[in-house]
């Protein structure tokens, strides 16, 4: 099973692990979503770099991935980002707090800003602290 921490961060390890995820060709706006990422990656023909919106949802108790090519990466002023939409406990059980539509609306806001608002940067710092606690086994005990 891919590491959600690495998938959330969009790391190279997470991207390599994501290859093992099942793909889906369609998602629904009201479907619970665990993660939305916007990342710069090579196109399938490896000729260009494009920005991709990647959303992870659960189907039949498996994490699946949906992708949309947003176009040439040079057209985007915002840096790559991830928006966490749910939480997975160490036992594999999880809960999504946001829908696909909600995460996509948040992504539109982030993508169209030059700088993240302070409140989002503060939230990201708090989430990083939560991940540190999670790695140290301090959560869900």
19 lies in a domain?
A: yes
Alpha-carbon span 102 to 97, nearest angstrom:
10
**Per-residue pLDDT tens over the stretch 94-125:** 888 999 999 999 999 888 876 556 666 677 67
> Does the residue 15 lie in any domain?
yes
Nearest Cα neighbor of 4 from 137, 103, 136, 134 is: 134
Report the number of distinct structural domains present in the chain: 1
Give the C-alpha distances (Å, rounded to integers) separating 57 from 38, 54, 116: 15, 10, 25
Query: Would the pLDDT of 8 be above 50?
Result: no
In a domain, 121, yes or no: no
Domain limits for position 47: 4-113
* pLDDT at position 27 over 80: yes
In a domain, 126, yes or no: no
- Taking residue 131's Cβ as centre, other Cβ atoms within 10 Å add up to 16
Query: Average pLDDT for residues 46-69, to the nearest whole number?
Result: 92
Domain-located, residue 67: yes
Residue 123 lies in a domain: no
User: For 11-15, 32-36, 39-43, 86-90, which range has the lowest pLDDT when averaged over its residues?
Assistant: 11-15
Is position 133 within any domain? Answer: no
Strands 94-96 and 32-42, bridge-based pairing: unpaired
- 11 found inside a domain: yes
* pLDDT: which is higher, 61 or 12: 61
């Amino acid at each position: 099973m891919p590491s959600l921490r690495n998938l959330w961060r969009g790391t190279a390890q997470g991207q390599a692990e994501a290859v093992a995820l099942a793909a889906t060709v369609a998602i629904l706006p009201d479907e619970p979503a665990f993660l939305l990422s916007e990342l710069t990656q090579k196109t399938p023909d490896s000729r260009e770099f494009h920005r991709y919106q990647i959303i992870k949802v659960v189907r039949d108790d498996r994490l699946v991935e949906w992708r949309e090519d947003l176009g040439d990466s040079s057209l985007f002023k915002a840096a790559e980002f991830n928006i966490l939409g749910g939480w997975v406990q160490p036992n594999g059980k999880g809960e999504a707090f946001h829908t696909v539509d909600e995460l996509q609306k948040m992504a539109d806001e982030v993508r169209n800003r030059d700088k993240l608002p302070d409140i989002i940067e503060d939230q990201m710092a708090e989430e990083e602290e939560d991940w540190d606690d999670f790695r140290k086994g301090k959560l869900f005990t």
